[in-house]
Amino acid sequence: MANPKVREALAQIQSSSDQPAAFESLLDNLKSISTPQDFANDLKAILDAAFNSPSVGVVAQRAILEKYVGVLRGISSADLWIELGNHALGTLESSSSAGQALTSGTFSDQAAALRELVADGHEANEDYEEAARTLAEIALDSSQRRVTAEDRVRVWVRIVRNYLEVDNTASAETYLNKLKNVIYQVDDPALNLHFRLSQARIQDAKREFLSASQAYHDISLLAAISEDERLHTLSMAVKCAILAPAGPLRSRALGRLFKDERSPHLDEFGMLEKMFFDRLLAPSEVDKFAGGLAPHQLALTADGSTVLARAVVEHNLLAVSRLYSNVDFGALAGVLGSLDPAKAEDTTARMIEQGRLVGRIDQIEGVVYFEKGEASGEKGSGRADVTVGREMRRWDANVQGLAEEVENVTNALQREFPDFVAANLVV
């Protein structure tokens, strides 16, 4: 129930010759006659009285609503924003005089302001999904309300960011796709930055790690953000590049990040360096790196392993291909860690088929033969054709190389120690 002073003021307004002005005056002076305990009920009573009075027309009701929103913004209570904002929206929907006016656009500006205020309250209370739903109810395509491209982008960006806070990637992507159609019309640097960052976060959440790494790295180079934020987005770029499927595309991404002069200052630089140089990763290094990953980056894949575990296995397989010409799957499984020989063979076959590793598999002997050179990344390009006599030619080349090295050593000895060579060697 409203405060007695407010009830008395409302009774006086009923006999006033200019009720709209009297309602606005009461809202302006509400803090001086109301109490903190009655403030919410007093505001509700004033709004209800204004919308139930036959002497207050639609135009006056709109002005009173704007004043009501202004009073709400003057208080610092998220719970009151939600409670009183929803009450006003309910009043608009239930009022016989406002029902048609709301659908025709008469109160659309005020309804939008109320929904933004309610969303502010939900965000302050960290109820991000409810904030996104509230913002989604704002009419942005009404023919009765002038809405600029920047207005649409500002609302949609907030919706995307709120959905991302609760990892609702599907809903966030729906509004990101809307943003893509209008973002080019907006020059506001902050909105463009939020769009790019949201796009990178969605790619990250969808495990499109190479695209996300590129997007994060581009953002980290922007002068418009602070140094700490640039380092944070660079760190996210490194994490995504490490989690990406091993192959030539990831190697290029790792090279670009490794050459960034800021990378040595990151905690992830040790992993980045080892992956860039195709060195084997130890379990302790992987566990340390996993401690800095987000939950979705540690989610299980279809085969029951994590994204990180799969990325490490594929990387170590590439590192093994740099060390050995051939290896049997039992030994390979031991090097890769928690894999059995059959799983090691499946992983090798998949990488060869996808063009991320060059080699061939002898299933009868259970051996994989690695080929020198880089894979192209094109599907099917990793399979090495078996050519008659190729192994023999390779053997001949190795023997020839060894003989040439022996001859070089002998010539060096003759130049430096001719007496020793004459006494001990037969040339």
Query: pLDDT by residue (tens digit) across 295-307?
Result: 888 888 777 788 8
Calculate mean pLDDT across residues 376-386.
53
Residue 59 has which token pair?
């135009």
Question: For residue 120, what pLDDT band results from cuts at 50, 70 and 90?
Answer: very high
Question: For residue 104, what pLDDT band results from cuts at 50, 70 and 90?
Answer: very low
Can you give the length of the chain in residues?
Answer: 427
Strand partners, 328: 367
Q: Is the confidence at residue 99, as pLDDT, over 60? A: no
Let me know: does 164 contact 180? Beta carbons within 8 Å.
no
From the centroid of its chain, how far is CA 137?
A: 24
Please state the three-class secondary structure of 30-67 as a single string: HHHHCCCCCHHHHHHHHHHHHHHCCCCCHHHHHHHHHH
- Please state the φ and ψ torsions of residue 384, each to the nearest 5 degrees: -95, 125
Q: Determine the Cα–Cα distance for residues 123 and 362; give it in Å rounded to an integer.
A: 59
Give the pLDDT of residue 380: 52
Calculate mean pLDDT across residues 135-149.
81
pLDDT above 70 covers a percentage of the chain that reads: 91
pTM for this entry: 0.75
Give the pLDDT of residue 427: 54
